[in-house]
Structure 1
Amino acid sequence: MCWLVVCSAAAQPSFTVIPLGVKGGLAEGNLSAYLVAPAGSAEYVCLDAGTVYSGVVRAVARKALPGPAAETIRTRIKGYLVSHAHLDHVAGLLLNAPDDAPKSIYGLPGCLATIQNDYFNWRAWPNFGPGGNPPALGKYQLRELPPGREVLLENTPLHVRSFVLSHGRPTQSAAFLVRSGSSYLLYLGDTGADAVEQTDNLRRLWQAVAPLVKARQLKAVFIEASYANSQPPAQLFGHLTPALLLQELGVLAQLAGPEAMRGLPVVVTHRKPTPGSEEAIRQELTEANTLQLRLIFPEQGQRLEF
């Protein structure tokens, strides 16, 4: 399975990705977090941060990162991009904050407000932010990402554009389009389908990235499938099933062309580890993969290249 190391033998990779956590709940030591760096670089940003230390320990054990883990977190993670402030996406960041080095946290304004006001407030956790309840320790700078505008990520050569997603009204989530040179990687935080959420957020995102798919500049899509197809629509809580995920990527295929979608790496994130669910999600996606996507089911600490 070549995607364990390099997803395309025909081209040099553009990105290195190390999953620090891949689950969508229950497993406290394996929650959503993905290190991303330009290929050949050790300057990572962390896309979400549900699990950090345990994930780095696992990556060190699998020789995907150098040790010791605490030093890697301090020096190699240059910043955090947080899709939304639910605990399964920020717990690792919060717990490691006392031993972390100063750096930036990027997100939509509402997400950053929740981190500052509801976590960094001396009630839930010490105030490692720049504002809020005094004394503000200022270890982290909170950097708002204006949707649709590309921003340089400090201390890396990477750029990012953010897009608004709907994660069960009224919760907003974000997608991050990360650029290295002329190559792109798309990471979606938790999201419901447009038809269920009654929005056009995903369609707007697909319209923005369709030209990159056509040009083969989009190297991978990270997108959730939290529940199997048997989950009742009223109990999705702003998440996707395999059927809804493929329905949404079908919209992208209409915009970019089916041929451009063939072989596109799609990393399936946020699978809920309830009994039988992960296996059902994998089977349902594989059996219905008429778009001929390259489906990837990531493992904690496993090095991926795109």
Structure 2
Amino acid sequence: MLVRSLDAGWSRGSIVAVDAGVHLSAIARILEETQPPALGDEVALPHVLESGPFAGLEVRTKSPSANAAHITRQLVDTYLITHPHLDHISGFVINTAGLPGTRPKRLAGLPSTISAFKTHIFNNVIWPNLSDENNGAGLVTYMRLVEGGSPALGEGDGKGYLEISDGLAVKMFGVSHGHCIERHSHRGSTSSSRIGSTDVSMMSPRGAPGSNAASGPSSAFRTTSLARSSGGGQEQESICVYDSSAYFIRDHATGREVLIFGDVEPDSISLSPRNLGIWQEAAPKIASGRLRAIFIECSYDDSQTNDRLFGHLAPRFIMEEMRALASEVETVRQNPIKLETTKKRKRESDAAIRRANRIAARSSGDDHPVSPKSTRPRGSISGSDGVTSPIPTPIPTPHLATPTAELTLKDLDPTVQAAFPVKPSSVNPLAGLKVVIIHVKDNFSDVETTGEIILSELQDYEKDAQLGCEFVISSKGESFLL
């Protein structure tokens, strides 16, 4: 997916790519369909394209592939990678060596995503080391983003946003993309409970610096220890939650934003639910009209059972998440001051939980970091307003078979029911918001495509929910002006 600020025009480095699974070949196919058929013959060169997502771009050759190479080489400087799965990175990896420019491409993402590239991709085994670290070729430079935004950057509405190209700035949040189906001990991480924010490519199996990163697994996982009965006692297993990302991308000229998710699972069946925090961040932007579109994956239709989602969404969960967002938007519109106080208390609570987890890990000698969303220590938290709140009792999580049994956080503890939103009280709280469905997996049917089924199911849900948002199934070469 390509993002551009209209104010920046088609200048060098004006395009930001969010993931790059196909990239160059997709751009070439779009140009094949939108360039004039007689370009270079009856239509003189250079020529300014008049249609398609690249309208207004001047091309100097009649070859769609050559023009696509120019776009990739000169106009795209930064790649925001949501997570290092092959279907999200392969185009970038393969094309980088063949299209060198005069400056390195910036690869931005979670520190754990960067670590996965260093350890498993640009390692001179799977692919040459094209990066500018560890004596590489220097075609790629890594940019490690801070979850929740960089607190020292920006001001006002733009606080925390990092400028990544002319006219565009970004704020990134980690999300959960399912869990590892293997049961094994994960070493190579620190005692911090936020694995996604830690680059462990230079950590030893027990956390000592300077050892070979290949001795441990990819740091794209966070781990949580689950107890299960075994004979007369209990033994610990590690379930690894895979990190993905969501990006708020802001246009400096207009102040408008889009929210783009990588692969993500619903909070209600996640071992590390983090979507609600993103909806709380998005709600005031939607209420003010600054956030106009959300690009979110929906890989399967509702015929896919929970145990076969593998960290993805289906329409029933898209609507569950949209109801959560709608509830947050209603809260903002009804009492914005109360929301800011609630969000501040939540940040203080999470910080205290993370500190307690680190202390517990050090005192017990446990190598395995504990996700703050999965297991929490007993005790209380004192906020800045002097109010003391109890830390919730850990949710008893049973052993998860492979594949995952169909269970939700709601099933595990009745007290968790309150954490999930009910139907919003107002009508059309998300009016004006476009929800663009991406990452739809083909069902290879000549009767009805997965996208058609998903859209029909979402529209049926919307008739009952009356959220007011417009659902769109993305298609190749489609562009959105916001």
TM-score if structure 2 supplies the norm length?
0.54
Structure 1 residue 164 and structure 2 residue 171: aligned?
no
Query: Is the alpha carbon distance of 1:168 and 1:200 closer, same or farther for their aligned partners in structure 2, counting shifts above 3 Å?
Result: closer
Distance (Å, rounded) in 1 between the aligned partners of 2:76 and 2:100: 9
Structure 1 residue 279 and structure 2 residue 435: aligned?
no
Distance (Å, rounded) in 2 between the aligned partners of 1:136 and 1:142: 12
In 1, are the aligned partners of 2:176 and 2:273 still within 8 Å (CA)? no
Number of the residue aligned with 2:26: 55
Q: Which moved more, 1:112-121 or 1:251-260?
A: 251-260
Per-residue CA deviations over 1:85-136 (Å, capped at 9, x if unaligned) read 000000110111111432201100111111121110111111111224xx41
Number of the residue aligned with 2:117: 115
In 1, are the aligned partners of 2:171 and 2:249 still within 8 Å (CA)? yes
In 2, are the aligned partners of 1:78 and 1:156 still within 8 Å (CA)? no
Number of the residue aligned with 1:71: 70
Match among 254, 277, 281 for residue 204 of structure 1: 277
Number of the residue aligned with 1:7: none
Match among 108, 127, 130 for residue 128 of structure 1: 130
Amino acid across the alignment from 2:73? R
Number of the residue aligned with 1:268: 437
Distance (Å, rounded) in 1 between the aligned partners of 2:264 and 2:451: 18
Match among 270, 280, 291 for residue 218 of structure 1: 291
Query: Is the alpha carbon distance of 1:216 and 1:151 closer, same or farther for their aligned partners in structure 2, counting shifts above 3 Å?
Result: closer
Q: Which moved more, 1:148-157 or 1:218-227?
A: 148-157
In 2, are the aligned partners of 1:213 and 1:260 still within 8 Å (CA)? no
% identical equivalent positions: 30
In 2, are the aligned partners of 1:229 and 1:243 still within 8 Å (CA)? yes
Number of the residue aligned with 1:141: 141
Per-residue CA deviations over 1:158-198 (Å, capped at 9, x if unaligned) read 11111010001221000000111221110011000001113
In 2, are the aligned partners of 1:59 and 1:302 still within 8 Å (CA)? no
Aligned-pair distance for 1:199? 3.0
Structure 1: runs of 5 or more not aligned: 1-33
Number of the residue aligned with 1:81: 80
Per-residue CA deviations over 1:19-72 (Å, capped at 9, x if unaligned) read xxxxxxxxxxxxxxx100112423110011111111111232324324511011
Amino acid across the alignment from 2:248? L
Distance (Å, rounded) in 2 between the aligned partners of 1:151 and 1:116: 25
Aligned-pair distance for 1:304? 1.9
Number of the residue aligned with 1:178: 249
In 2, are the aligned partners of 1:107 and 1:145 still within 8 Å (CA)? yes
Structure 1 residue 93 and structure 2 residue 92: aligned?
yes
In 2, are the aligned partners of 1:46 and 1:80 still within 8 Å (CA)? yes
Distance (Å, rounded) in 1 between the aligned partners of 2:115 and 2:271: 25
Aligned-pair distance for 1:151? 4.1
Amino acid across the alignment from 1:39? L
SS at match of 2:258: strand
SS at match of 1:115: helix
Number of the residue aligned with 1:247: 320
In 1, are the aligned partners of 2:106 and 2:140 still within 8 Å (CA)? yes
Amino acid across the alignment from 1:283? S
In 2, are the aligned partners of 1:39 and 1:305 still within 8 Å (CA)? no
Amino acid across the alignment from 1:235? R
Distance (Å, rounded) in 2 between the aligned partners of 1:271 and 1:92: 18
Amino acid across the alignment from 1:266? V
Distance (Å, rounded) in 1 between the aligned partners of 2:474 and 2:273: 28
SS at match of 1:57: helix
Number of the residue aligned with 1:8: none
Aligned-pair distance for 1:154? 3.7
Number of the residue aligned with 1:39: 6
Distance (Å, rounded) in 1 between the aligned partners of 2:321 and 2:272: 13
Distance (Å, rounded) in 2 between the aligned partners of 1:297 and 1:112: 30
Give the structure, 1 or 2, with the largest relative contact order (CA under 8 Å, sep 6 or more): 1
Amino acid across the alignment from 2:247? F
Larger Rg: 2
In 1, are the aligned partners of 2:81 and 2:109 still within 8 Å (CA)? yes
Distance (Å, rounded) in 1 between the aligned partners of 2:72 and 2:270: 36
Distance (Å, rounded) in 1 between the aligned partners of 2:53 and 2:273: 38
Amino acid across the alignment from 1:125? W
Structure 2: runs of 5 or more not aligned: 35-51, 60-66, 150-159, 180-240, 331-425
Distance (Å, rounded) in 2 between the aligned partners of 1:203 and 1:178: 18
In 2, are the aligned partners of 1:216 and 1:260 still within 8 Å (CA)? no
Per-residue CA deviations over 1:203-251 (Å, capped at 9, x if unaligned) read 0110111000110110110001111111111111100001101110100
Distance (Å, rounded) in 1 between the aligned partners of 2:16 and 2:175: 21
In 2, are the aligned partners of 1:145 and 1:162 still within 8 Å (CA)? yes
Q: How many residues align?
A: 271
Amino acid across the alignment from 2:146? P
Number of the residue aligned with 1:19: none
Distance (Å, rounded) in 2 between the aligned partners of 1:64 and 1:200: 35
Structure 1 residue 301 and structure 2 residue 477: aligned?
yes
Root-mean-square deviation (CA), in Å?
1.5
Q: Which moved more, 1:251-260 or 1:122-131?
A: 251-260
SS at match of 1:124: coil
TM-score if structure 1 supplies the norm length?
0.84
